């Protein structure tokens, strides 16, 4: 099946995210979540319905189909993972990480995503806790030079 547009992915993800905390899903909620007007939502939901990703009872509630749920979860997973990488590894602020993740999630390749996920996990599972080299990076980012203890702590032979 043809790939979803960025916009449709956003709508699908919004429905998914809303469903995590809300019992029912309405057009108005989606509009609020995405900062668009309700006719835009109706339009998008129509297109998602055509593709069998959403079920929408007229004037009533919305639901993801199985396929819709899976796709939505996939998109949202990417979002979460890009966010984590930006925030935890690169040290980008919370808000900006979220915003960037929201855009990038639609475009990043499987391969890059995989490396980001692994990188984040590499940091998170570091045997020594928060890795020394990442401390050193933060120092470098702040001061523009490697800390004096850098060589010592990282030399391998």
Partner DNA sequence: GTTTATAGTTAGATAAATCTAACATTTTTA
Partner DNA sequence: TAAAAATGTTAGATTTATCTAACTATAAAC
Residues near DNA, by CB under 7 A: 5-8, 10, 26-28, 35-40, 42-45, 47, 56, 58-60
Of these partners, its own copies, DNA, none, which one is at the site of residue 128 (CB under 5 to 8 Å by kind)? its own copies
Of these partners, DNA, its own copies, none, which one is at the site of residue 5 (CB under 5 to 8 Å by kind)? DNA
Retrieve residue 112's tokens: 């890059």
- Of residues 42 and 141, the one with the C-beta less far from its own copies: 141
State how far the Cα of 103 lies from the Cα of 16, in Å rounded to an integer: 17
* Beta carbon of residue 30, minimum distance to its own copies (angstroms, whole number): 22
- Of residues 21 and 156, the one with the C-beta less far from its own copies: 156
Judged by DSSP in three states, 56 sits in strand
89-104 b/e (C-beta count within 10 Å ≥ 16 → b) = beebeeeebeebbeeb
Beta bridge partners of 62: 25, 56
Which string of x and - marks every residue 73-112 that binds its own copies (by CB under 8 A)?
-------------x---xxxx--xx-xx--xx--xxx-xx
Which string of x and - marks every residue 138-157 that binds its own copies (by CB under 8 A)?
--xx----x--xxx-xxxx-
Beta bridge partners of 64: 54
Cα Rg of the chain (Å, integer) = 20
How many chain residues touch its own copies (CB under 8 A)?
42
CA torsion sign, 19 to 21 to 24 to 29?
negative
Nearest 10 degrees: Cα torsion 122, 128, 129, 135: -80
Binding site for its own copies (CB under 8 A): 86, 90-93, 96-97, 99-100, 103-104, 107-109, 111-112, 115-116, 118-119, 121-122, 125-128, 131-133, 135-137, 140-141, 146, 149-151, 153-156
């Amino acid at each position: 099946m043809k790939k979803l547009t960025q916009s449709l992915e956003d709508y699908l993800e919004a429905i998914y995210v809303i469903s995590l905390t809300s019992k029912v899903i309405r057009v108005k909620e989606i509009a609020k979540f995405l900062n668009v007007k309700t006719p835009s939502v109706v339009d998008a939901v129509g297109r998602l319905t055509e593709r069998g990703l959403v079920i929408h009872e007229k004037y009533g509630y919305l639901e993801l189909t199985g396929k819709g749920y899976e796709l939505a979860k996939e998109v949202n997973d990417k979002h979460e993972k890009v966010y984590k990488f930006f925030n935890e590894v690169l040290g980008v602020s919370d808000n900006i990480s979220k915003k960037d993740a929201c855009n990038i999630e639609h475009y990043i390749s499987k391969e890059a995503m995989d490396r980001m996920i692994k990188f984040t996990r590499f940091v998170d599972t570091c045997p020594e806790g928060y890795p020394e080299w990442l401390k050193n990076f933060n120092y470098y980012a702040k001061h523009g030079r490697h800390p004096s203890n850098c060589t010592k702590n990282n030399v391998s032979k």
